[in-house]
């Protein structure tokens, strides 16, 4: 149970609420911040949970990254699916260690990273993506956090078909998911769920119609999550003034035999 | 990859939105509903995703249960932590296959069931509970879904101390979590999170103060989730009229070395 | 400034949170409740703000009704526009003492009652309604609260045209408001607003299209209000568990010269 | 019913969603914008609802201001009470043409402006404010919109007492409203409401305790409003990404005889 930080390990460096960095430690590396820099060599040998000083004397905590910390360290090629939505989608999907999962598109790989974490080394994610630049970004992001081996990224249009069969869950984050429903139905194990993420009400209306007409899906549900976070002042507790008011709608349905 | 339903397996039987049942199949068993009964013997040999008729001729789908379906089949001894909150808490905790987790109290075991599902057979949950009646209920619930072997339920007051060390995450759902912070700090691996669920603003103010005074925790965050679900009518799409407006506040913090 | 209650006056009788009654006092009248009855004769001569006992000894407060209290005393023929929405709509409309207002349909007259209150004796409301049974209900409700003289109820289909000109604001609560936009444009004073209330996203999409195509409206805005109310316990402050999650969308636009 | 714009009149000039100006027209005046300037002299003689061109050729609409437009034209000395809250507070207060109202503090005068609009020339607002700089700002703002004659601004600490009696409603927007409850009770007509606006949960807990202990108030309610507005695209309807997540809590109570 070694928690000593060595080269190649990921560290989530936190100075304060606005200064948080996901760092892959390498000899000779430097983390530059507006509160001073930190030499990677000074991080090596420290333990997670310990503090270190920046060159300007500010305290920085060395933390083991959690899934939502990846958000800070990922290159972003696209709008990502936020934790508030990703967590509910994964919960509803029922994926667990060993699950085989289809995803399209991969975007920056943020949702993928959490799926890959949950399915473990016995599970696997097959991610379809038509845009090469996203594939490159997602690959780098997943490599950084050490989860790329659990993901097969395919430069393929999922609307043309899904190679895999008997999969445990399908996640779709694409503009026209209605063009994938037949393929998804074929690829899913019986009674398993499809999770679809859509930003607009117009798309929502269209996918509901398509799910109903396909006949192969039941238990169709649509959810919208709103997350408030609070200002942490025990003498003046209150929600933050600004919040994310909308990200997307989450659609859930289960495959049945047609 | 057998999906044929045999004795002892769990089936989520869905007739419609309001008639959903979590059934453990046993020879000679009967599922009674106000739309007619279903003989377990008729379920045996069917596959997940197939349909069956009730004695009154209604269609019932035989589905493989997902984590949120457990809600339907659990005996409830207490108010459970809802999926909208459970999913975010587990996400923020970063638990994954192999994680070792502390929980108190266990209540009806609903949050436990999802934690146990995610940590897999390599992980484990140690659940502290002071009320015997809750332990009995949680044990039955976890046994029903086949996850009891991943959970050690302790009839112990967690305010008296935590036996385990080097745990990956701690979940507290109890009225006075401030009385557990020192023990939690000792039990957690460095930099790992504590997740606390609290229904009232007064408790929230108190736990924030306690976390700040303890000095051993940083990155304190408070979240509140609001979940809207929609009426699934593509000609008249709209959120449901009634919704759950409040369940509880979620507190997150990470251990640092004091 | 007499606050003494006499025959014909309205009293809002409040025993507790769940026992609130809007009463028009008449000699010999009886208010029956499950906590005992109250004779109107015993109310006469009392002052607003005073308490009285029911026949079973429970305290009942005699209050001067506020606009949201009307909700309790109105016969309901239809789903009403809730205070959370009515208050915002009226605010956005800019109506004030002396305003001339068009409304369709009148429904149970609840929104009408608040409009009529604000425009005062110098203002007026012209309410179009095609269903006779609603007209009867609205008339009774408005008469009960003494505001009927400020409202002209027309048994007319507003889609056939609006008689009035130079009106200060138009409120539409009907399934197909797009069929009224041309008439509304003609009836409104230049630059004045139309407020439209719609329950579904499909209607919302349709009215936005219609407003944009009509060319005669700018500053189109759509709002949705969510109201949380709290459990009033200073030792355990928290929002109520159940809340109204959806009522309708509010559309605002201003007339410009075409 | 002249709608011709002449000197001294208020015009709400709207170029687009982000360029909206509240202008008091004066001969020789210039409205400068980043889309070109507009000479006031060119506005004079136009009618509300008509369009005009900026010096760079952009269309600007000349609108009659509505209460929420004042927000755009007011000097802001303080955080104002937003329309979503102001509208509900005024609704719940039951004020109408002729009402006599107490307010403290006046801040920038935004809530005052809407109260003054509703009470009309027969009503009046008495506004207490301890900070001279706010009084100056509020006075200028109210003068600009022509409502100052309905408001008496007092450079006085309301915690020292309220001069007026038999008032219809009291609005408090100050850090320690619990220090005003006794005075408020004395000043209110029997059964009339007090509306209190507070940003933090700690203040909320304190005021609820104080209201309960004072004994002179019943029907205590706490509300929180959440307002979502939408992106107006009929092909891609969705709520805006960012929203105001918190402003303040609204407390309502009614005076009873002690």
For chain A, say whether D232 makes contact (Cβ under 8 Å).
no
Identify the band that residue D1 occupies on the pLDDT scale cut at 50, 70 and 90. Answer: very low
**Best B239, B249, B250 residue to mutate vs chain C (most C CBs within 10 Å):** B239
Contacting residues of D for B201, CB less than 8 Å apart? 201, 204-205
For residue B73, pLDDT beyond 90: no
For chain A, say whether C204 makes contact (Cβ under 8 Å).
yes
Task: Test A97 with B93 for CB contact under 8 angstroms.
Answer: no
Look at residue B235 and tell me if it is in a domain. yes
Are residues B122 and B190 located together in one domain of the fold? yes
Among D49, D65, D81, residue at a domain's last position:
D65
Q: Is pLDDT larger for residue B73 or for residue C151? A: C151
**Dihedral sign, Cα of residue A15, residue A21, residue A27, residue A32:** negative
Q: What Å distances lie between residue C64 and B136, B245, C29, C61, D183, CA to CA?
A: 54, 30, 18, 10, 21
For chain B, say whether C232 makes contact (Cβ under 8 Å).
no
For chain D, say whether B237 makes contact (Cβ under 8 Å).
no
Neighbouring chains of A at 3+ CB pairs under 8 Å are: B, C, D
pLDDT at residue A125, as a whole number: 98
CATH number, domain with residue B221: 3.40.50.150
Q: Which helix (H) or strand (E) holds A17?
A: none
For residue B68, what is the DSSP state? Answer: G
For chain D, say whether C93 makes contact (Cβ under 8 Å).
yes
For chain D, say whether C236 makes contact (Cβ under 8 Å).
no
pLDDT at residue B72, as a whole number: 86
Look at residue D2 and tell me if it is in a domain. no
Task: Test A204 with C201 for CB contact under 8 angstroms.
Answer: yes
For chain C, say whether B232 makes contact (Cβ under 8 Å).
no
For residue A77, pLDDT beyond 90: no
Å from C120 to nearest chain D CA?
A: 6
Task: Test D202 with B205 for CB contact under 8 angstroms.
Answer: yes
Q: What Å distances lie between residue D67 and C190, D81, D85, D110, D145, CA to CA?
A: 16, 13, 13, 9, 10
CB A4 within 8 A of CB A47: yes
Among A50, A65, A80, residue at a domain's last position:
A65
Nearest to B230 among A88, A222, A239 (CB): A222
For residue C77, pLDDT beyond 50: yes
For chain D, say whether A28 makes contact (Cβ under 8 Å).
no
What would the pLDDT profile of C87-113 be if each residue is shown by its tens digit?
999 999 999 999 999 999 999 999 999
CB D182 within 8 A of CB D214: yes
Q: Is the bond into A105 cis (omega within 30 degrees of 0)?
A: yes
- Cα separation, D207 vs D42, in Å, equals 53
pLDDT at residue B147, as a whole number: 97
For chain B, say whether A212 makes contact (Cβ under 8 Å).
yes
What's the pTM value of the predicted model, to 2 decimals? 0.96
What would the pLDDT profile of B161-199 be if each residue is shown by its tens digit?
999 999 999 999 999 999 999 999 999 999 999 999 999
Å from A100 to nearest chain B CA?
A: 12
CB pairs under 8 A between A and D: 60
Look at residue C1 and tell me if it is in a domain. no
Look at residue B21 and tell me if it is in a domain. yes
Identify the band that residue D162 occupies on the pLDDT scale cut at 50, 70 and 90. Answer: very high
Among B26, B48, B65, residue at a domain's last position:
B65
For chain B, say whether A52 makes contact (Cβ under 8 Å).
no
For chain B, say whether C227 makes contact (Cβ under 8 Å).
no
Look at residue B213 and tell me if it is in a domain. yes
For chain A, say whether B52 makes contact (Cβ under 8 Å).
no
Task: Test B241 with C246 for CB contact under 8 angstroms.
Answer: yes
Look at residue B1 and tell me if it is in a domain. no
For chain D, say whether B204 makes contact (Cβ under 8 Å).
yes
What would the pLDDT profile of C150-209 be if each residue is shown by its tens digit?
999 999 999 999 999 999 999 999 999 999 999 999 999 999 999 999 999 999 999 999
pLDDT at residue A258, as a whole number: 84
- A171: domain range? 71-255
Are residues B57 and B91 located together in one domain of the fold? no
Look at residue A130 and tell me if it is in a domain. yes
Q: What Å distances lie between residue B81 and B194, B253, C104, CA to CA?
A: 16, 19, 44
For chain C, say whether A30 makes contact (Cβ under 8 Å).
no
pLDDT at residue A128, as a whole number: 98
Q: Domain count of chain D?
A: 2
Are residues D23 and D106 located together in one domain of the fold? no
* 3-state SS record for C166-188: CECEEEECCCCHHHHHHHHHHHE
Contacting residues of C for B84, CB less than 8 Å apart? none
- Cα separation, A12 vs B94, in Å, equals 13
Contacting residues of D for A200, CB less than 8 Å apart? 236-238
For residue B118, pLDDT beyond 60: yes
pLDDT at residue D102, as a whole number: 98
Cα-to-chain-centroid distance, residue C34: 28
Are residues D57 and D90 located together in one domain of the fold? no
For chain C, say whether D165 makes contact (Cβ under 8 Å).
no
Are residues A218 and A166 located together in one domain of the fold? yes
Are residues A219 and A138 located together in one domain of the fold? yes
pLDDT at residue D81, as a whole number: 94
Task: Test C225 with D223 for CB contact under 8 angstroms.
Answer: no
Identify the band that residue B242 occupies on the pLDDT scale cut at 50, 70 and 90. Answer: very high
Task: Test A220 with B229 for CB contact under 8 angstroms.
Answer: no
CATH number, domain with residue A33: 3.10.330.20
Å from D205 to nearest chain B CA?
A: 8
Chain A residue with minimal CA distance to D239? A246
Neighbouring chains of C at 3+ CB pairs under 8 Å are: A, B, D
Name the A residues in 121-150 with CB < 8 Å from any B CB.
Answer: 121-122
Are residues B17 and B58 located together in one domain of the fold? yes
Are residues D80 and D127 located together in one domain of the fold? yes
Q: How far apart are the first and last CA of chain C?
A: 50
Are residues C18 and C53 located together in one domain of the fold? yes
Torsion of CA B198, B200, B205, B206, to 10 degrees: -60
For chain D, say whether A2 makes contact (Cβ under 8 Å).
no
Chain B residue with minimal CA distance to C231? B200
pLDDT at residue C78, as a whole number: 87
Query: What length does chain A have?
Result: 258
Contacting residues of B for D204, CB less than 8 Å apart? 201
For chain D, say whether B202 makes contact (Cβ under 8 Å).
yes
Are residues A104 and A186 located together in one domain of the fold? yes
Task: Test D51 with C256 for CB contact under 8 angstroms.
Answer: yes
Cβ-proximal residues to D210 (8 Å cutoff; 6+ apart), any chain: D177, D178, D181
Are residues B96 and B80 located together in one domain of the fold? yes
Look at residue C4 and tell me if it is in a domain. no
Chain A residue with minimal CA distance to B90? A87
- Cα separation, A45 vs D229, in Å, equals 51
For residue B1, pLDDT beyond 80: no
Mean pLDDT value across chain A: 96
Task: Test B50 with A190 for CB contact under 8 angstroms.
Answer: yes
Nearest to A244 among D199, D238, D241 (CB): D241
| Residue located via tokens 């109202």 | D101
Are residues C61 and C75 located together in one domain of the fold? no
């Amino acid at each position: 149970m070694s928690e000593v930080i060595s080269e190649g390990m990921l560290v989530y460096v936190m100075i304060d609420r606005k200064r948080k960095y996901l760092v892959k430690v390498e000899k000779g590396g430097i983390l530059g911040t507006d509160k001073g820099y930190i030499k990677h060599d000074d991080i090596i040998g420290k333990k997670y949970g310990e503090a270190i000083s920046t060159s300007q004397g500010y305290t920085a905590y060395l933390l083991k990254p959690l899934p939502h910390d990846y958000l800070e360290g990922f290159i972003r090629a696209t709008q990502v699916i936020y934790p508030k939505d990703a967590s509910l989608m994964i919960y509803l999907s029922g994926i667990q260690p060993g699950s085989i999962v289809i995803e399209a598109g991969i975007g920056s790989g943020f949702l993928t990273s959490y799926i890959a974490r949950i399915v473990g080394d016995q599970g696997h994610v097959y991610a379809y993506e038509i845009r090469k630049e996203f594939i490159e970004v997602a690959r780098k992001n997943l490599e950084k956090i050490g989860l790329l081996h659990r993901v097969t990224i395919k430069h393929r249009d999922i609307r043309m078909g899904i190679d895999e069969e008997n999969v445990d869950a399908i996640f779709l984050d694409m503009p026209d998911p209605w063009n994938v429903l037949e393929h998804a139905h074929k690829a899913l194990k019986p009674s398993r769920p499809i999770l679809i993420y859509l930003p607009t009400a117009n798309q929502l209306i269209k996918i509901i119609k398509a799910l109903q007409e396909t006949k192969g899906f039941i238990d169709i549900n649509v959810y919208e999550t709103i997350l408030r976070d609070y200002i942490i002042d025990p003498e003046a507790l209150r929600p933050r003034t600004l919040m994310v008011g909308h990200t997307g709608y989450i659609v859930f349905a289960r495959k049945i035999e047609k």
